[in-house]
A and B are shown apart, each in its own frame.
Chain A
Amino acid sequence: MIGLIGQRAIASLASLVVLMVMVFFLSRLTGDPAALFLPIDATEEMKQQFRTLHGLDRPVLEQFVMYVWDVLRLDFGESLRRARPAIDVVLEAYAWTLPLALITMALVVVAAIVLGAIAAFNVGGIIDRGISVVSLIGASAPDFWIAIVAIVLFAINLGWLPTSGVGTPWHWIMPVAVLFIRPFGLIVQVVRGSMLSALAAPYVKTARAKGVKNRPIIFVHTLRNAMLPVITVIGDQAAALLNGAVIVETIFGFPGIGKLMIDSILQRDFNVVMAAILVTAVAIFIMNILIDIAYSILDPRIRQ
Chain B
Amino acid sequence: MTLRYLIAGALFASAAVTPVLAQDNTDITVVLSEELDLVDPCMATRSNIGRVIMQNVSETLTELDVRGDEGLMPRLAESWEDLGDGVWRFHLRPNVTFSDGSAFDAADVQHTFDRVFSEDVTCESARYFADTELSFEVVDDLTIDITSEPAQPILPLLMTLVTIVPSETPMEFVREPIGTGPYVLSEWQAGQHIQLDRRDDYWGEQPEVSSARYVFRSEAAVRAAMVETGEADIAPQITELEATNPATDFSYPNSETVYLRIDSADAPTDDIRVRQALNHAIDREAFIGTLLSEGTELAVTIVPPTTLGWNGGLEPPAYDPDLARQLLEKAAADGVDVNLPIEIIARTGNFPNVTEVAEALTQMLSEVGFNASLRMVEVAEHEQYYSKPYPESEGTRLILAQHDNSRGDPVFSMFFKYHSEGTQSGISDPHVDDLIERATAATGDERAALWSELFAYIHEEVVADVLLFHMVGHSRVSERLDFRPTIATNSQLQLSEIGFK
Verify B17–A161 contact, CB threshold 8 A. Answer: yes
B38-65 residues with Cβ-Cβ distance < 8 A to A are 38, 40, 45-46
Name the A residues within 8 Å of B287 (CB-CB).
none
Q: Which of B1-56 contact A (CB under 8 A)?
A: 10, 13-14, 16-18, 20-21, 37-38, 40, 45-46
Residue B366, interface by CB 8 Å:
no
Contact A82 B38 (CB under 8 A): yes
Given the contacts A160-B10, A161-B13, A82 and B191 also touching, CB distance less than 8 Å: no
Interface membership of B247, Cβ < 8 A: no
1/0 per residue B459-480: CB within 8 Å of A? 0000000000000000000000
Assembly CA distance A53 to B171 (angstroms) = 12
Complex Cα distance, B40 from A82, in Å, reads: 10
CA distance A143 to B379 in the complex (A): 25
Please judge, given known A-B contacts A96-B191, A160-B10, A163-B225, whether A31 and B122 are in contact too, CB under 8 Å: no
User: Do A40 and B424 form a contact, CB below 8 Å, given A49-B119, A83-B38, A83-B173?
Assistant: yes
Query: Which residue of A is nearest B191, CB measured?
Result: A255
Task: Identify the closest chain A residue to B403 (Cβ).
Answer: A40
- Select A39's contact among B20, B124, B172, B378, beta carbons within 8 Å: B124
Please give me the 10 A-B residue pairs with the lowest Cβ-Cβ distance, nearest first.
A255-B191, A83-B173, A81-B37, A253-B217, A41-B416, A43-B130, A50-B122, A163-B225, A251-B219, A82-B37
Q: Does A295 contact B (CB under 8 A)?
A: no
Contact with B along A23-56 (1 / 0, CB 8 A): 0000000110001111111110110011011000
Whether B225 pairs with A152 at a CB distance below 8 angstroms is yes
- Does A92 belong to the interface (CB within 8 Å)? yes
| CA of A152 to CA of B172, assembled, Å | 44
Within 244-301 of A, Cβ neighbours of B (below 8 Å) are at 250-253, 255, 259-260, 266, 268
> How distant is the Cα of A230 from the Cα of B489 in the complex, in angstroms?
53
B191 near A93 with CB under 8 A, answer yes
Pick from B74-82, B106-114, B380-388 the stretch touching chain A: B380-388
Does A89 touch B at the CB level, under 8 Å? Answer: yes
Contact A42 B127 (CB under 8 A): yes
Which residues of the partner chain A approach B216 to less than 8 Å between Cβ atoms?
Answer: 253
Q: Flag the segment in A62-70, A164-172, A194-202 that touches B.
A: A164-172
**Chain B positions within 8 Å of A141 at CB level:** none
Contacts of B225 in A (CB 8 A): 151-152, 155-156, 163
Give 5 pairs: A residue, B residue, CB < 8 Å, sorted on A.
A40-B386, A156-B228, A163-B225, A165-B231, A253-B215
Most buried by B among A40, A167, A266: A40
How distant is B116 from chain A, measured CB to nearest CB, in Å?
A: 11
Within 8 A of A (CB), among B159-178: 172-173, 175
Mask of B109-137 contacts with A, CB within 8 angstroms, 1/0: 00000000001111010110010000000
A-chain residues with CB within 8 Å of residue B175 when the two chains form the complex: 84
A-side interface residues toward B, CB under 8 Å? 30-31, 35-43, 45-46, 49-50, 52-53, 79, 81-84, 89, 92-93, 96, 148, 151-152, 155-156, 158-168, 170, 250-253, 255, 259-260, 266, 268
CB-based nearest B residue for A84: B175
Q: What are the residues of chain A within 8 A of B222 when measuring CB–CB? A: 148, 151, 163-164, 251-253
B192 interface neighbour in A79, A255, A259, A268, Cβ under 8 Å = A255
Q: Are B228 and A266 in contact, CB atoms less than 8 angstroms apart? A: no
Is B244 an interface residue, CB under 8 A from the partner?
no
B120 surroundings in chain A (CB, below 8 A): 53
| B300 on interface, CB distance cutoff 8 Å | no
Tally A-B pairs: CB < 8 A. 130
B420 lies within 8 A of chain A by Cβ: no
Q: Which residues of A contact B38 (CB under 8 A)?
A: 81-83
| Range class of the B interface residue count | 35 or more
Residues of B within 8 A of A156 (CB): 225, 228-229
- Whether B423 is near chain A, meaning CB under 8 Å from some CB there, is yes
Known: A41-B127, A251-B219. A165 touches B192 (CB 8 A): yes
Query: Residue B218 at the A interface, CB < 8 A?
Result: yes
Q: Most B CB atoms within 10 A — which of A38, A148, A165? A: A165
Q: Is the CB of B423 within 8 A of A159?
A: no
Specify which chain A residues have a CB less than 8 angstroms from the CB of B16 in the assembled complex. 170
Question: Of A49, A93, A159, A250, which one neighbours B219 at CB under 8 angstroms?
Answer: A250
Further contacts, 6 of them, CB under 8 A, given A151-B222, A160-B17, A162-B229: A43-B127, A45-B130, A82-B37, A162-B21, A163-B225, A163-B229
- Interchain nearest-CB distance for A12 vs B (Å): 28
B218 closest partner in A (C-beta):
A250
B226 located at the interface, meaning its Cβ lies under 8 Å from any Cβ of chain A in the complex = yes
Residue B221 CB within 8 A of the other chain: yes
A40:B387 contact, CB within 8 angstroms:
yes
Partner of A35, one of B20, B46, B130, B380: B380
- Whether the pair A38, B219 counts as a contact (CB closer than 8 A) is no
**Contact residues in B for A31 (Cβ distance below 8 Å):** 380, 384
Q: Which of B40, B173, B219, B380 contacts A268 (CB 8 A)?
A: B380
Closest-by-CB residue of B relative to A44 is B423
CB <8 Å contact, A49 and B20: no
Q: Which of B387-429 contact A (CB under 8 A)?
A: 387, 416, 423-424
Least Cβ distance of A109 to chain B in Å? 24
Q: Is B190 an interface residue (CB 8 A)?
A: yes
Residues on A with beta carbons closer than 8 Å to the beta carbon of B219: 148, 250-251
CB distance from A106 to the nearest CB of B (A): 21
A166 to B193 alpha-carbon distance, docked (Å): 10
Distance in Å: Cβ of A35 to nearest Cβ of chain B: 5
Asked whether A162 and B20 contact (CB < 8 A) given A36-B380, A43-B130, A92-B190, the answer is yes
A83 to B18 Cα, complex, angstroms: 38
When distances are taken between beta carbons in the complex, the residues of chain A under 8 Å from B226 are 163-164
Q: How far is the CA of A173 from the CA of B127 in the complex (A)?
A: 46
> In the complex, what residue of chain B is closest to A170 when comparing beta carbons?
B17
Chain A residues lying within 8 Å of B18, measured Cβ to Cβ, are: 159
- Within the complex, the shortest CB–CB distance from A163 to chain B, in Å, comes to 5
A34 to chain B, nearest CB (A): 8
User: Nearest Cβ distance between residue A176 and chain B, in whole angstroms?
Assistant: 14
Taking each of B46, B120, B130, B380, which has the highest tally of chain A beta carbons within 10 Å of its own beta carbon?
A: B380
CA distance A161 to B190 in the complex (A): 23
Name the distance in Å between B80's Cβ and chain A's nearest Cβ: 26
Which chain A residues border B119 with CB–CB below 8 Å?
49, 52-53
A residues near B387, Cβ cutoff 8 Å: 35, 40
Q: Which residues of B contact A170 (CB under 8 A)?
A: 13, 16-17, 20
B212 vs chain A, min Cβ distance (A):
16
Using a CB-CB cutoff of 8 Å, which residues 180-202 of chain B contact chain A? Answer: 190-192
